[in-house]
Amino acid sequence: MNDMDQQQQRVTKYKMIESPKLAKLPLLYKELIKAKLAGLVALTAMAGYAIAPGESSVVTLIATTVGTGLCIGSANSINQWIETPYDAQMLRTRNRVLGRRALSQTHAFGFGALTGLTGVSLLAACVNPITAALGAANIVLYTCIYTPMKRTSIANTWAGAVVGAIPPMMGYTAVTGTLADPGAWVLGGLLYAWQFPHFNALAWNLRADYSKAGYRMMAVTDPKLNARVSLRYSLAMFPLCAAVPYLGLTSWWFAADSTVINGVMAYGAYRFWRNRYLICIEVL
Protein backbone atom coordinates (compact mmCIF):
# COMPACT_ATOMS: atom_id res chain seq x y z
CA MET A 1 0.00 0.00 0.00
CA ASN A 2 1.54 3.34 -1.05
CA ASP A 3 1.48 6.61 0.91
CA MET A 4 -1.52 7.94 -1.04
CA ASP A 5 -3.62 4.88 -0.21
CA GLN A 6 -2.66 5.11 3.45
CA GLN A 7 -3.63 8.78 3.57
CA GLN A 8 -6.99 8.08 1.91
CA GLN A 9 -7.68 5.29 4.38
CA ARG A 10 -7.01 7.62 7.30
CA VAL A 11 -9.35 10.24 5.87
CA THR A 12 -12.27 7.98 4.98
CA LYS A 13 -12.18 5.57 7.91
CA TYR A 14 -15.42 5.77 9.91
CA LYS A 15 -15.27 5.70 13.65
CA MET A 16 -18.35 4.84 15.68
CA ILE A 17 -19.14 7.26 18.53
CA GLU A 18 -18.82 5.26 21.70
CA SER A 19 -21.38 5.73 24.45
CA PRO A 20 -19.79 7.91 27.15
CA LYS A 21 -19.31 6.52 30.60
CA LEU A 22 -22.00 7.51 33.07
CA ALA A 23 -19.48 9.34 35.26
CA LYS A 24 -18.53 11.61 32.35
CA LEU A 25 -22.07 12.62 31.40
CA PRO A 26 -22.48 15.50 33.90
CA LEU A 27 -19.39 17.26 32.54
CA LEU A 28 -20.46 16.65 28.95
CA TYR A 29 -23.96 17.97 29.65
CA LYS A 30 -22.45 20.99 31.41
CA GLU A 31 -20.48 21.74 28.28
CA LEU A 32 -23.43 21.09 25.99
CA ILE A 33 -25.73 23.55 27.76
CA LYS A 34 -22.93 26.12 28.08
CA ALA A 35 -23.41 26.14 31.83
CA LYS A 36 -21.58 29.41 32.48
CA LEU A 37 -23.62 31.29 29.89
CA ALA A 38 -26.85 29.66 31.06
CA GLY A 39 -26.03 30.65 34.64
CA LEU A 40 -25.42 34.28 33.68
CA VAL A 41 -28.70 34.39 31.77
CA ALA A 42 -30.51 32.87 34.76
CA LEU A 43 -29.07 35.70 36.87
CA THR A 44 -30.83 38.22 34.62
CA ALA A 45 -34.09 36.41 35.34
CA MET A 46 -33.33 36.64 39.06
CA ALA A 47 -32.72 40.37 38.66
CA GLY A 48 -36.08 40.78 36.96
CA TYR A 49 -37.70 38.80 39.76
CA ALA A 50 -36.02 40.91 42.45
CA ILE A 51 -36.98 44.23 40.90
CA ALA A 52 -40.61 43.40 40.09
CA PRO A 53 -43.29 44.84 42.41
CA GLY A 54 -45.53 42.33 44.12
CA GLU A 55 -45.45 39.31 46.37
CA SER A 56 -42.58 36.89 45.99
CA SER A 57 -41.43 33.67 47.59
CA VAL A 58 -38.26 31.62 47.75
CA VAL A 59 -40.00 28.67 46.09
CA THR A 60 -41.14 30.73 43.12
CA LEU A 61 -37.73 32.36 42.81
CA ILE A 62 -36.00 28.98 42.72
CA ALA A 63 -38.50 27.60 40.20
CA THR A 64 -38.08 30.68 38.00
CA THR A 65 -34.29 30.51 38.12
CA VAL A 66 -34.05 26.77 37.51
CA GLY A 67 -36.77 26.79 34.85
CA THR A 68 -35.13 29.66 32.98
CA GLY A 69 -31.75 27.95 33.21
CA LEU A 70 -33.18 24.73 31.79
CA CYS A 71 -34.80 26.59 28.90
CA ILE A 72 -31.52 28.33 28.09
CA GLY A 73 -29.63 25.05 28.41
CA SER A 74 -32.09 23.44 26.01
CA ALA A 75 -31.67 26.21 23.45
CA ASN A 76 -27.88 26.02 23.71
CA SER A 77 -27.88 22.24 23.31
CA ILE A 78 -30.11 22.24 20.24
CA ASN A 79 -28.14 25.14 18.79
CA GLN A 80 -24.93 23.09 19.02
CA TRP A 81 -26.75 20.12 17.50
CA ILE A 82 -27.75 22.24 14.50
CA GLU A 83 -24.41 23.98 14.07
CA THR A 84 -22.04 21.02 14.53
CA PRO A 85 -20.75 21.02 10.91
CA TYR A 86 -20.19 24.78 11.02
CA ASP A 87 -18.60 24.78 14.48
CA ALA A 88 -16.03 22.35 13.10
CA GLN A 89 -14.82 25.10 10.74
CA MET A 90 -14.22 27.69 13.46
CA LEU A 91 -11.13 27.75 15.64
CA ARG A 92 -13.14 28.95 18.63
CA THR A 93 -15.79 26.21 18.45
CA ARG A 94 -14.29 23.20 16.71
CA ASN A 95 -13.47 21.43 19.98
CA ARG A 96 -17.00 21.57 21.39
CA VAL A 97 -18.56 18.41 22.72
CA LEU A 98 -20.27 17.45 19.45
CA GLY A 99 -17.39 18.59 17.28
CA ARG A 100 -15.02 16.17 18.97
CA ARG A 101 -17.71 13.45 18.91
CA ALA A 102 -17.92 13.03 22.68
CA LEU A 103 -21.71 12.66 22.33
CA SER A 104 -23.82 11.49 19.42
CA GLN A 105 -26.15 13.86 17.59
CA THR A 106 -29.17 11.84 18.72
CA HIS A 107 -28.05 11.94 22.35
CA ALA A 108 -27.49 15.70 22.24
CA PHE A 109 -30.84 16.47 20.62
CA GLY A 110 -32.71 14.18 23.00
CA PHE A 111 -31.05 15.79 25.99
CA GLY A 112 -31.81 19.28 24.70
CA ALA A 113 -35.46 18.46 24.02
CA LEU A 114 -35.93 16.83 27.42
CA THR A 115 -34.24 19.76 29.16
CA GLY A 116 -36.53 22.24 27.45
CA LEU A 117 -39.65 20.23 28.22
CA THR A 118 -38.63 20.02 31.87
CA GLY A 119 -37.91 23.74 32.09
CA VAL A 120 -41.18 24.83 30.51
CA SER A 121 -43.16 22.32 32.60
CA LEU A 122 -41.52 23.56 35.80
CA LEU A 123 -42.36 27.16 34.96
CA ALA A 124 -45.96 26.26 34.10
CA ALA A 125 -46.49 24.21 37.26
CA CYS A 126 -44.65 26.33 39.83
CA VAL A 127 -44.65 29.87 38.42
CA ASN A 128 -47.35 30.88 35.90
CA PRO A 129 -48.40 30.25 32.28
CA ILE A 130 -47.04 33.55 30.95
CA THR A 131 -43.52 32.87 32.22
CA ALA A 132 -43.70 29.33 30.84
CA ALA A 133 -44.84 30.65 27.45
CA LEU A 134 -41.92 33.08 27.39
CA GLY A 135 -39.53 30.24 28.15
CA ALA A 136 -40.95 28.10 25.35
CA ALA A 137 -40.92 31.05 22.95
CA ASN A 138 -37.27 31.69 23.72
CA ILE A 139 -36.30 28.11 22.88
CA VAL A 140 -38.17 28.30 19.56
CA LEU A 141 -36.81 31.75 18.73
CA TYR A 142 -33.22 30.73 19.43
CA THR A 143 -33.25 27.37 17.66
CA CYS A 144 -35.74 27.84 14.82
CA ILE A 145 -35.24 31.51 13.91
CA TYR A 146 -31.96 32.93 15.20
CA THR A 147 -29.77 29.88 14.54
CA PRO A 148 -30.70 29.33 10.85
CA MET A 149 -30.86 33.09 10.24
CA LYS A 150 -27.16 33.39 11.14
CA ARG A 151 -26.34 31.92 7.73
CA THR A 152 -28.83 33.96 5.70
CA SER A 153 -29.17 37.51 7.05
CA ILE A 154 -27.46 40.05 9.30
CA ALA A 155 -30.89 40.48 10.91
CA ASN A 156 -29.90 37.48 13.02
CA THR A 157 -28.26 39.87 15.49
CA TRP A 158 -31.57 41.60 16.17
CA ALA A 159 -33.32 38.25 16.58
CA GLY A 160 -30.59 37.08 18.94
CA ALA A 161 -30.96 40.25 21.00
CA VAL A 162 -34.63 39.42 21.56
CA VAL A 163 -33.54 36.04 22.92
CA GLY A 164 -31.32 37.78 25.46
CA ALA A 165 -34.03 40.27 26.38
CA ILE A 166 -36.66 37.69 27.34
CA PRO A 167 -35.12 36.13 30.53
CA PRO A 168 -35.35 39.31 32.69
CA MET A 169 -38.92 39.65 31.49
CA MET A 170 -39.52 36.07 32.63
CA GLY A 171 -38.29 36.98 36.09
CA TYR A 172 -40.53 40.04 36.13
CA THR A 173 -43.65 38.19 34.99
CA ALA A 174 -42.96 35.46 37.55
CA VAL A 175 -43.94 38.05 40.17
CA THR A 176 -46.48 40.20 38.34
CA GLY A 177 -48.11 37.54 36.17
CA THR A 178 -48.56 39.99 33.31
CA LEU A 179 -46.76 41.57 30.37
CA ALA A 180 -48.95 44.66 30.57
CA ASP A 181 -46.62 46.23 33.14
CA PRO A 182 -44.19 48.59 31.34
CA GLY A 183 -41.45 47.60 33.78
CA ALA A 184 -41.13 44.22 32.08
CA TRP A 185 -40.53 45.86 28.72
CA VAL A 186 -38.02 48.36 30.09
CA LEU A 187 -35.96 45.55 31.62
CA GLY A 188 -36.17 43.62 28.38
CA GLY A 189 -35.17 46.75 26.49
CA LEU A 190 -32.09 47.18 28.66
CA LEU A 191 -30.81 43.69 27.89
CA TYR A 192 -31.81 44.06 24.25
CA ALA A 193 -29.83 47.28 23.77
CA TRP A 194 -26.79 46.14 25.78
CA GLN A 195 -26.22 43.13 23.57
CA PHE A 196 -25.34 45.14 20.46
CA PRO A 197 -22.19 46.91 21.70
CA HIS A 198 -21.22 43.70 23.51
CA PHE A 199 -21.77 41.24 20.66
CA ASN A 200 -20.74 43.48 17.75
CA ALA A 201 -17.34 44.10 19.30
CA LEU A 202 -16.97 40.36 19.92
CA ALA A 203 -18.05 39.58 16.35
CA TRP A 204 -15.49 42.04 15.01
CA ASN A 205 -12.68 40.18 16.78
CA LEU A 206 -14.03 36.85 15.49
CA ARG A 207 -14.96 38.01 11.98
CA ALA A 208 -12.43 35.73 10.27
CA ASP A 209 -13.91 32.68 11.98
CA TYR A 210 -17.48 33.75 11.20
CA SER A 211 -16.58 34.32 7.56
CA LYS A 212 -14.92 30.91 7.29
CA ALA A 213 -18.03 29.17 8.63
CA GLY A 214 -20.37 31.14 6.35
CA TYR A 215 -22.12 33.19 9.04
CA ARG A 216 -23.61 36.47 7.86
CA MET A 217 -22.62 38.87 10.61
CA MET A 218 -22.48 42.65 10.32
CA ALA A 219 -18.79 42.49 11.23
CA VAL A 220 -18.23 40.39 8.09
CA THR A 221 -20.64 41.87 5.55
CA ASP A 222 -20.88 45.52 6.65
CA PRO A 223 -18.24 46.64 9.21
CA LYS A 224 -19.43 50.27 9.11
CA LEU A 225 -22.96 49.22 10.06
CA ASN A 226 -21.57 46.91 12.73
CA ALA A 227 -19.81 49.79 14.49
CA ARG A 228 -22.65 52.26 13.92
CA VAL A 229 -25.23 49.92 15.46
CA SER A 230 -22.97 49.41 18.48
CA LEU A 231 -22.82 53.15 19.08
CA ARG A 232 -26.54 53.63 18.49
CA TYR A 233 -27.62 51.08 21.08
CA SER A 234 -25.02 52.12 23.63
CA LEU A 235 -26.61 55.58 23.55
CA ALA A 236 -30.05 54.01 23.95
CA MET A 237 -28.94 52.69 27.34
CA PHE A 238 -29.14 56.18 28.88
CA PRO A 239 -32.92 56.76 28.54
CA LEU A 240 -33.68 53.11 29.26
CA CYS A 241 -31.78 53.25 32.56
CA ALA A 242 -33.54 56.51 33.44
CA ALA A 243 -36.89 54.83 32.80
CA VAL A 244 -36.26 52.27 35.55
CA PRO A 245 -36.46 54.76 38.48
CA TYR A 246 -39.10 56.75 36.60
CA LEU A 247 -41.36 53.70 36.85
CA GLY A 248 -40.59 53.44 40.56
CA LEU A 249 -38.63 50.19 40.27
CA THR A 250 -35.45 51.64 41.80
CA SER A 251 -34.20 54.89 43.29
CA TRP A 252 -32.71 57.62 41.14
CA TRP A 253 -29.28 56.58 42.36
CA PHE A 254 -29.55 53.78 39.82
CA ALA A 255 -29.85 56.33 37.02
CA ALA A 256 -26.87 58.26 38.37
CA ASP A 257 -24.67 55.19 38.76
CA SER A 258 -25.67 53.73 35.42
CA THR A 259 -24.88 57.02 33.68
CA VAL A 260 -21.24 56.61 34.61
CA ILE A 261 -21.14 52.99 33.44
CA ASN A 262 -23.07 53.76 30.27
CA GLY A 263 -20.76 56.69 29.61
CA VAL A 264 -17.74 54.40 29.65
CA MET A 265 -19.51 51.95 27.34
CA ALA A 266 -20.67 54.71 24.97
CA TYR A 267 -17.16 56.13 24.78
CA GLY A 268 -15.82 52.69 23.94
CA ALA A 269 -18.52 52.29 21.29
CA TYR A 270 -17.65 55.70 19.87
CA ARG A 271 -13.99 54.74 19.57
CA PHE A 272 -15.03 51.45 18.01
CA TRP A 273 -17.22 53.28 15.48
CA ARG A 274 -14.53 55.86 14.68
CA ASN A 275 -11.78 53.28 14.18
CA ARG A 276 -13.93 50.90 12.15
CA TYR A 277 -15.16 53.80 10.04
CA LEU A 278 -11.62 54.93 9.28
CA ILE A 279 -10.61 51.38 8.42
CA CYS A 280 -13.52 51.06 6.00
CA ILE A 281 -12.68 54.38 4.34
CA GLU A 282 -9.08 53.26 3.83
CA VAL A 283 -10.24 49.98 2.30
CA LEU A 284 -12.65 51.76 -0.06
Does pLDDT of 156 surpass 70?
Answer: yes
pLDDT digits (tens, 9 = 90+) for 232-269: 999 999 999 999 999 999 999 999 999 999 999 999 99
pLDDT digits (tens, 9 = 90+) for 95-142: 888 888 888 899 999 999 999 999 999 999 999 999 999 999 999 999
Mean per-residue pLDDT of the chain: 89
What integer pLDDT is reported at residue 157 of this predicted model? 95
Instruction: Tell me how far CA of residue 251 lies from CA of 115, 189, 190, 246, 248, in angstroms.
Output: 38, 19, 17, 9, 7
What integer pLDDT is reported at residue 18 of this predicted model? 65
Amino acid at 112: G
Q: Please count the other Cβ atoms lying within 10 Å of the Cβ belonging to residue 279.
A: 13
Does pLDDT of 24 surpass 60?
Answer: yes
Domain boundaries 24-179, CATH class: mainly alpha
pLDDT digits (tens, 9 = 90+) for 177-207: 999 999 999 999 999 999 999 999 889 988 9
Domain locations along the chain? 24-179, 181-284
- Distance in angstroms (rounded) separating the CA atoms of residues 272 and 260: 18
Model confidence band, residue 281 (pLDDT cutoffs 50, 70, 90)? very low
Q: Of 213 and 36, which is predicted with more confidence? A: 36
Question: Among 112, 113, 122, which residue's Cα sits nearest to residue 29?
Answer: 112
pLDDT above 70 covers a percentage of the chain that reads 90
Q: Please count the other Cβ atoms lying within 10 Å of the Cβ belonging to residue 98.
A: 26
Q: Are 274 and 235 in contact (CB under 8 A)?
A: no
Confidence (pTM): 0.87
